[in-house]
Structure 1
């Protein structure tokens, strides 16, 4: 009796099964042998991180990134620093810069499989890796992890390291891109680990990885803000689910494996009283899967708790950052199968009475061609976050009261700022051109590995 099926289906014992395959990696490493490992993607530009000829399977993604805004001239020119960002506290006077607090929503990741002309994965880079609201937070689950330094925890735009372990098979081609739709240069360190196979996956069996980000800001709630969640007045029947928030809607055959869910609740009571309703294939009413509440879908109860389990949990809890909640649910041991179509929905409050800021990233596998996935413009993706405007010194009356020395110091700072920014822009342009060349070299390197693998089988 063969043990292949048993070994191939078990995470821990699959390494003990002999397979004809070749493991490889594409990364951002500095191919000149120096230490400028980060790729630079200038505003409005797209970087091709990987373009791999199949058949094969991506097995792991590791991403670390930053996007820095220069607030004032530093004492160390970037062209002489050798680093992608100055990790020095601004209070020390050596530099004056910050992370763009919104960049996790401004930069998007796209993935294409085989002959797909439109992306099969499209999401803001943060939300794809379960970093909601552009707010950094540690968490661990089976398919995704985020690692954040204590000083960056719960910060908008905080520095973080991402991992994704979901398998992404392809027969002909895999292409992964990063598009910078922000105003500042974006830096990307990355590993893309994959394995090559000698023969194509069975077209009747292969399902392709998909992910898509959606947002409603606000959700289309029918109740006024002062109608309390769980009050008598919210007891309205919902017997069709038509007003629910849609997490995923697609046609084809496949498997829904879960989502992350970010909510900013404005009312100050409770956001999660809505039921999950999943309509499969020819469902009308009731759907194949009908739940009992938001926290119940995320497999918690009596509200959400501050924990992160392999398949469900909380990334940001509303008690830590009032109003903000980020949750996740992975249907890996309990996949949701569909043969022709699926619609995954969740009520925003009972019978959809709440008007909150909701966004989700859905993850699923399906046959190709997949749906045409689109993403809102940057302005519609930016997170809701508190903002404080400092007083301005632009008032002409204020300027007239300055001493000659004070005016001289301001002019000196402006001149130094221009020189510092000019130096950094030249450095960024050089790094950007080097990143484009590395992308080409990575593509050629992947072709050489594939040829060597196939030649070894002859």
Structure 2
């Protein structure tokens, strides 16, 4: 990344927003109608006439339809913070009929619960008061199609900007994929499937977990397991507990308080409500980015997480009634 800053190699920057829906050179700020037209009345073209789009209930809007090759470098988007899980982000690479990314907007930005949380990480930043930023590099060959669906019951204003570079993409590049899975309730056995990937080669690069345990006490004894390629009943990578996977320890409990934290590669960003502990209806959200430590596979990957608490007799308690939702991110060859 640092090396790229000083390289002058002819790549061209383009940026798509409601003020420049195509991203074409010199096409920004030309609107004569839009959501800002009333505020800009009498000021003329170029004065924030179309800063956003109104999305009706049930509507799907194309945010970007880009001819490649290129690499998306930054996505910024914001809307009503209470509706983040009602909107779905979908991304299609190179004309595929199936989306490579299909995730509720909030979960893609580590905000799976209605009460928003700030995030200060390498790949995702959520800034006051609800600015959602993705720095996941997203290479594509012939085309990138990004859509947003409004599953809420009302019309909402959406602001967005998608910045990409027109540049060649090597044949060895992996395309970003993301999948959201929700178990509500989890059921028996208390094992939540994060993802199953067929094909490769690939690199697993990130996890976001949102959980509501629905039982009192500590809920995070479950292990993350990654089954690589020919693994059968038992995985190659097996963790030691949920909080351990996200870089924490000992229930995230520091003197009777579970303190949120956000670092470049892992964090616990949602503890709701923050002034309670070990209550059944609490909600938690946490992320881990496998950037310096990617999980590489040749032709297949399966990942799961157990949901375990404690019984009074000291045995594990499978959390069969828990709400567990995960977003899994990986790069995979699609050629």
Give TM-score, length-normalised by structure 1. 0.61
Aligned with 2:186 (options 219, 233, 238): 219
Check the 8 A contact 1:274/1:352 in 2, yes or no: no
Q: Which runs of 4+ in 1 moved over 3 A?
A: none
**Distance in 1 of aligned mates of 2:150 and 2:287:** 26
**Distance in 1 of aligned mates of 2:296 and 2:275:** 36
Bigger fraction of residues in helix: 1
Residue matched to 2:194:
247
Alignment of 1:19-418 (within 5 A): 19-29=9-19, 31-32=31-32, 33-35=46-48, 36-66=50-80, 101=82, 103-149=83-129, 160-197=130-167, 199=168, 201-203=169-171, 205-221=172-188, 244-253=191-200, 254-304=202-252, 305-317=259-271, 320=274, 322=276, 323-349=282-308, 353-354=318-319, 355-368=321-334
**Distance in 1 of aligned mates of 2:326 and 2:215:** 20
**What SS does the corresponding residue of 1:249 show, helix, strand or coil?**
strand
Residue matched to 1:410:
none
Residue matched to 1:446:
none
> How far apart are 1:321 and its partner, in Å?
6.1
**Structure 2 stretches lacking a partner, 5+ long:** 20-28, 33-45, 253-258, 277-281, 310-315
> How far apart are 1:12 and its partner, in Å?
2.1
CA radius of gyration, larger in:
1
Q: Summarize deviations over 1:212-262 as a string: whole Å, max 9, x none.
A: 11100111146xxxxxxxxxxxxxxxxxxxx52111111111110011100
Q: Summarize deviations over 1:283-341 as a string: whole Å, max 9, x none.
A: 01431101110011111111224211110111112560641110001000000011111
Count of matched residue pairs: 292
Give TM-score, length-normalised by structure 2. 0.83
> How far apart are 1:17 and its partner, in Å?
2.2
**Structure 1 stretches lacking a partner, 5+ long:** 1-10, 67-98, 150-159, 223-242, 370-458
**Distance in 2 of aligned mates of 1:15 and 1:338:** 30
- C-alpha spacing 1:321/1:114, structure 2 compared with 1 (3 Å): farther
**Distance in 2 of aligned mates of 1:194 and 1:321:** 41
**What SS does the corresponding residue of 2:146 show, helix, strand or coil?**
strand
**What SS does the corresponding residue of 2:113 show, helix, strand or coil?**
helix
